[in-house]
């Protein structure tokens, strides 16, 4: 069975993303006895998408086509851009060039599978993890059996879409490194992607935390499923040797928890002495100097603390499991270990005011990270606590999640936005050594927050502007 896997993601912020998930899928298919090839569209311009797909299908002649949907949009409230238009072009080209079944999948697809299938007119999809699902579909087609028993399968039946439980890899510890995919060299070119190209790698799947806005538990599962430290290091070694990669990005939602697993992974890295560096998303819980120093010995260059807020009131509102004291302790440990520190903020959540933003910036003043990223507005995804809270309020209309909405608290009107901007500007002026990055234009924040049709709040109707 010849399978063509198409990676449609072309997002370039916050960084270019090698389609590692599709590479895992390719490895699973080949190890199961099938042929599998990847078509990566990341660097193709708009006017080449259809032609590239048509050419690849004509050359390869697949019996089955998988289309990966990694991002629905860029998750940026004030600079919004949707991505499903690309997928629609790819899907149309597949249908025009081949009679092979086309199966949609990927992390974004798993968030809103029925809605995406309906808007794209797709017939087949897979929710959850693609390895067991696509192998089962390819096996069934090769043997002339119905594909109906494939895990995670969605099928169009007339005007409705049948839904099943998400597919899951039964033993994440058995997941092996992609061995057949050679990433485009442009992913690792400083002239193309910037000064610090990286390769993304996961040490676990799933997340046991329940941050109010985060869709990871619904995509990957609500508990941590841990990979073998030896397999993780084998993957890093393979990618280093194959593509010359010297910098990795551990893309777990939280790397340092469970703590014992993070320690085991780092000890494996130290023993392997790979000569590479890495960065990771991290949570400020359970930090001490021993942990931070082990990270450093294992090659850790940067820790990105996904804090979202810096005052206890907003941390509670966003259902974080840590406090300002935890933030300050973890930051101090990382600094003593000589690791670069990024703090990431997400402003505008339930209960946000100019005062809570000021207190968050006070925490940033005490912590003094090397880089501070500030985002405004929270993308509302289905099945998250924030989505459930909005949907449960009396008189709420149904939310159309494909029509992107971003939560911005109703308290943040023009006057409050002006105050917040002054606080941010004063912080930037008084902290010249901290690199501050914002996902919005400060000059237009007040006007755009007041008029954006993407805004929703606890008191504004779904899909309507908050006043």
| Among 15, 60, 61, 24, residue whose Cα is nearest residue 42 | 15
Rounded distance, CA 373 to CA 357, Å? Answer: 14
Residue 387 near residue 414, CB atoms below 8 Å: no
So what's the pLDDT on residue 450? 67
- In this prediction the pTM is 0.89
Rounded distance, CA 217 to CA 208, Å? Answer: 7
The pLDDT of residue 137 is above 50: yes
Structure tokens at 365: 């003043």
Question: In sequence order, which residues have a C-beta less than 8 Å from that of residue 343 and are 6 or more positions away?
Answer: 305, 307, 310, 327, 331, 364, 367, 369, 371, 372, 373
Q: Please give the residue that has the higher pLDDT: either 405 or 378.
A: 378
The pLDDT of residue 314 is above 70: yes
Packing angle of the helix pair 229-243, 259-272 (nearest 10 deg): 40
Residue 352, number of CB atoms within 10 A of its CB = 28
Query: pLDDT tens across 211-268, in order?
Result: 999 999 988 888 999 999 999 999 999 989 988 889 999 999 999 999 999 999 999 9
pLDDT mean over 145-154: 92
Rounded distance, CA 285 to CA 267, Å? Answer: 20
Which stretch of 88-102, 135-149, 313-327, 443-457 has the lowest confidence by average pLDDT? Answer: 443-457
Query: pLDDT tens across 417-436, in order?
Result: 899 999 999 999 999 999 99
**Residue whose pair of structure tokens reads 């007040």 in the numeric block:** 446
The pLDDT of residue 460 is above 70: no
Q: Please give the residue that has the higher pLDDT: either 274 or 183.
A: 274
Rounded distance, CA 426 to CA 330, Å? Answer: 25
So what's the pLDDT on residue 462? 37
Rounded distance, CA 438 to CA 426, Å? Answer: 14
The pLDDT of residue 467 is above 50: no
Using alpha carbons, list the distances in angstroms from residue 410 to 19, 231, 263, 377, 395: 38, 48, 43, 12, 17
| Among 41, 36, 30, 51, residue whose Cα is nearest residue 6 | 41
The pLDDT of residue 448 is above 80: no
Residue 24 near residue 131, CB atoms below 8 Å: yes
So what's the pLDDT on residue 392? 65
pLDDT mean over 293-309: 97
Structure tokens at 64: 């089955």
Helices then strands (H, E): number in the chain?
Answer: 17, 19
Q: In the chain, what percentage of residues exceed pLDDT 70?
A: 91
Q: Please give the residue that has the higher pLDDT: either 467 or 283.
A: 283
So what's the pLDDT on residue 398? 59
Structure confidence at residue 451 as a pLDDT band (50, 70, 90): low
DSSP string of 329-361, one letter each residue: HHHHHHHHHT-EEEEEEEE--TT--HHHHHHHH
For the four alpha carbons of 292, 296, 299 and 301, in that order, the dihedral sign comes to: positive
Rounded distance, CA 248 to CA 27, Å? Answer: 20
């Amino acid at each position: 069975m010849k399978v063509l896997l198409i990676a449609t993601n072309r997002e370039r912020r916050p960084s270019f993303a090698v389609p590692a998930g599709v590479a895992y899928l390719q490895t699973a298919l080949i190890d199961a006895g099938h042929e599998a090839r990847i078509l990566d569209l990341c660097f193709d311009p708009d006017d080449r998408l259809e032609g590239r797909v048509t050419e690849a299908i004509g050359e390869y002649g697949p019996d089955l086509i998988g289309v990966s949907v990694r991002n629905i949009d860029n998750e940026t409230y004030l600079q919004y851009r949707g991505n499903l238009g690309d997928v629609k072009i790819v899907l149309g080209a597949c249908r025009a060039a081949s009679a092979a079944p086309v199966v949609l999948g990927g992390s974004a697809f798993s968030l809103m599978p029925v809605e995406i299938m309906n808007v794209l007119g797709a017939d087949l999809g897979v929710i959850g993890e693609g390895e067991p699902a696509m192998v089962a579909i390819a096996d069934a087609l090769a043997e002339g059996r119905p594909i109906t028993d494939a895990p995670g399968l969605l099928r169009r039946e007339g005007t409705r879409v049948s839904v099943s439980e998400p597919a899951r890899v039964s033993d994440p510890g058995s997941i092996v490194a992609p061995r057949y995919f050679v990433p485009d060299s442009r992913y690792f070119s400083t002239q193309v992607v910037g000064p610090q190209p990286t390769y993304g790698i996961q040490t676990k799947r799933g997340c046991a935390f329940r941050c109010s806005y985060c869709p990871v538990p619904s995509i990957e599962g609500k508990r941590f499923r841990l990979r073998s430290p030896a397999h993780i290091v084998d993957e890093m070694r393979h990618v280093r040797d194959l593509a010359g990669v010297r910098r990795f990005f551990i893309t777990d939602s939280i790397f340092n928890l469970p703590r014992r697993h993070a320690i085991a992974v780092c000890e494996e890295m130290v023993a392997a002495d790979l000569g590479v560096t890495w960065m990771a998303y991290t949570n400020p819980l359970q930090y001490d100097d021993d942990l931070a120093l082990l990270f450093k010995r294992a090659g850790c260059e940067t820790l990105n603390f996904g804090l979202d807020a810096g005052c206890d009131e907003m941390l509670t509102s966003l259902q974080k499991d840590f406090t300002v004291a935890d933030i300050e302790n973890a930051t101090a440990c990382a600094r003593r270990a000589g690791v670069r520190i990024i703090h990431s903020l997400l402003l505008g959540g339930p209960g946000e005011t100019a005062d809570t933003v000021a207190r968050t910036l006070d925490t940033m003043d005490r912590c003094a990270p090397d880089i501070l990223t500030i985002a405004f507005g929270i993308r509302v995804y289905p099945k998250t606590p924030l989505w459930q809270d909005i949907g449960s309020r009396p008189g709420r209309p149904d939310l159309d999640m494909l029509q992107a909405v971003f939560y911005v608290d109703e308290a943040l009107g023009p006057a409050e936005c002006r105050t917040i901007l002054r606080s941010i500007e004063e912080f930037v002026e008084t902290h010249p050594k901290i690199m501050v990055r914002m996902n919005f234009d400060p000059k237009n924040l007040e006007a755009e927050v007041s008029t954006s049709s993407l805004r929703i709040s606890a008191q504004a109707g779904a899909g309507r502007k908050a006043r």
